[in-house]
Amino acid sequence: MQYMLLIYEDETEEARLSSEEQQASIGRHIELARRLRQENRLLAADPLQPAATATCVRVENGRVVLTDGPYAETKEQLAGFYLVEATDLDQALADAAAIPSAARGIVEVRPILDLQA
Amino acid sequence: MRPTEALDRIFREEHGLVLASLVRFFHDLDLAEDTLQEAVTTALRSWADVGVPDHPAGWLLTVARRKGIDQLRRRRNFARVSALLAEPGFTEAPEPAEEYAVPDERLRLMFTCCHPALSLEAQVALTLRTLGGLTTSEIARAFLTTEATMYQRITRAKKKIALAGIPYAVPVREQLGERLDAVLAVIYLIFNEGYSGSAGSDLVRLDLCREAIRLSEMVAALMQTEAEPAGLAALLCLIDSRRQARLDEQGELVLLEDQDRSMWDRSLLGQGRVWLDRALAAPGPIGPYVLQAEIAATHGAARNAADTDWARIVYLYEELASARPTPVVALNHAVAVAMWQGPQVGLDLLEPLADGLARYQPFHAARGELAARAGRRNVAIESFAKAIELSANEVERRHLERRLSAVRSLNP
């Protein structure tokens, strides 16, 4: 099965990390991505620009309406994602726990809806 | 034995085990339930013709496995079919228990079903339904909710298991801790259902009580650094020690304070105290089960109701209320206070609980009892009538009806 691991972080707290802490965090991301790639389970993974760069799009009566900023004004914002292949939820949960951001924010694990099934 | 008798017996004693085996084999709860159902239908026909086999449970297991494999073939899930046929479990007896952190098949499946990705309530409900042998309506009653709500909750849990790919994997030792709360809750509720069957004419369903005690002692032996499993084992033994005294010769209910305490089972009482001592000596934190066991042990130490150390019981209920602030705990606390300081004090404590416990039979029974003692005839009549309306157990209902007519016969 495929799982999307959605990383939510408090951006103000992330900005307060020392550069050593940031380096350590990036190192663990790289390590995790390398391991997942070796196991042939990494489909995609990327960090996102801060939520302030987000734009929301809606189409109302055929007219495109744009709003500045993220969809939900919450303390934690979507900061990045991993798309992984896992045998079951337990494996995906273990992957999520290995993401360094899980120690500071939250990682939401969502199974991908398989349209072929 | 007639086929229906044999199937009845299996359903009473071995249903959970057969299902557990099938779940382990298919790693799929729905498929396991479906195929067991089909196997039972086949058994009814086949056993009527050729007689009941020597090992009916084994027969059901084999037939259900074949039917499951056929179903997967029809669904063209060939990869799974060949994987299943290659499993040693298909032709052989279950593998030796020492391989697992949990030595008992049913207990193992309980830990397996109590997956932390499900809400605690969903874990407990699902496990009770599939392995505890309880019906949806019995589970609904245990959770103080309606059958429809409970049905929805179980369906939602099963759906999440399927869609999110929650595996039926036996947890390793390190994972047992995070599943412990749910497993203890399941065992406690199985005992409860056995001790005061929510439906039917027997007040006590011995098979469920015994099984719950067996499971609790096994968890306590397995996790000796934790206090709560030993606390649960203690609690169940201590409560069960009163079983003989709970019904009189006519099979009518006798309340704790009126029980003939010489009928309490000394060996179960002793067994309960041993577990309680172990719980209190364990390094793990003390929680609701240990506290409830202490309450039961305090009752057990008293020669009669008047002699009971009610101040200690009130104190323990206050501790329990801070560990688990539920309306049911508050109800028990109010009753203990009434025994200590008089019925009117207890009644005043009950009033704020009325909304939360509107559908809870023991609330109305307790309110009726305290009102009767406080001389508030109308409140007593109204409460007993409500309790009767909510009671699904015949023995319990007869007791309440006797109390109601006793109160009615008093001069207003």
Q: A35 or A116: whose pLDDT is higher?
A: A35
What pTM value is reported for the model? 0.74
Which pLDDT score, from 0 to 100, does residue A107 have? Answer: 97
Q: Model confidence at B96, in pLDDT bands (50, 70, 90)?
A: very low
Residues B244-301: tens digit of each pLDDT: 888 888 878 888 888 999 999 999 999 999 999 999 999 989 999 999 999 999 999 9
Q: Is the residue at A75 inside a domain? A: yes
Give the chain A residue whose CA is nearest to the CA of B163: A111
Look up residue B200 and give its DSSP letter.
B
Q: Is the residue at B245 inside a domain? A: no
Checking DSSP bridges between strand A42-47 and strand A77-85, what pairing results, if any?
antiparallel
List the single residue in A3, A88, A111 with the smallest CB-CB distance to B167. Answer: A88
For residue A81, the enclosing domain spans: 2-111
For residue B56, the enclosing domain spans: 3-94
Domain count within chain B: 1
For the beta carbon of residue A29, count every other beta carbon within 10 angstroms: 18
Neighboring chain B residues of A87 at a CB cutoff of 8 Å:
167
Closest CA to B191 of B217, B170, B157: B217
Give B128's Cβ-side CA count (13 Å radius): 33
Neighboring chain A residues of B28 at a CB cutoff of 8 Å:
none
Q: Do A86 and B117 touch (CB under 8 A)?
A: no
| C-alpha distances in Å from residue B37, one per residue of B15, B31, B64, B127 | 11, 10, 8, 18
Q: Where are the alpha helices (DSSP H) in chain A?
A: 11-15, 19-38, 89-98
Q: B251 or A71: whose pLDDT is higher?
A: A71
Which pLDDT score, from 0 to 100, does residue B319 have? Answer: 95
**Cα–Cα dist B144/B361, whole Å:** 10
Which pLDDT score, from 0 to 100, does residue B45 have? Answer: 86
- Across the range B362-374, mean pLDDT stands at 95
Secondary structure of residue B116 in the 3-state scheme = coil
Q: Is the residue at B193 inside a domain? A: no
Which pLDDT score, from 0 to 100, does residue B275 have? Answer: 97
Which pLDDT score, from 0 to 100, does residue A62 have? Answer: 92
Neighboring chain B residues of A89 at a CB cutoff of 8 Å:
117, 164-167
List the single residue in A3, A90, A109 with the smallest CB-CB distance to B167. Answer: A90
Where residue A55 sits, what CATH number does that domain have? 3.30.70.1060
Q: Is the residue at B28 inside a domain? A: yes
Asked if residue B98 has pLDDT above 50, the reply is no
- Across the range B386-392, mean pLDDT stands at 91
ipTM of the complex: 0.82
Q: Is the residue at B282 inside a domain? A: no
Q: Which long-range contacts (CB under 8 A, 24 or more apart) does B116-122 make?
A: B116/B178, B116/B179, B117/A89, B117/A93, B117/B160, B117/B164, B117/B166, B118/B157, B118/B160, B118/B161, B118/B166, B119/B157, B120/B181, B120/B182, B120/B185, B121/B153, B122/B153, B122/B154, B122/B156, B122/B157, B122/B160
Q: Is the residue at B15 inside a domain? A: yes
Neighboring chain B residues of A93 at a CB cutoff of 8 Å:
117
Q: In terms of C-beta density within 10 A (0-12 exposed, 13-18 middle, 19 or more buried), how is residue B153 classed?
A: buried
Query: Sign of the C-alpha dihedral, residues B121, B127, B132, B134?
Result: positive
Q: Is the residue at A117 inside a domain? A: no
- On average, the pLDDT of chain A sits at 93
Q: Is the residue at B45 inside a domain? A: yes
The mean-pLDDT minimum among A81-90, B19-28, B91-100, B355-364 falls in B91-100
Secondary structure of residue A62 in the 3-state scheme = coil
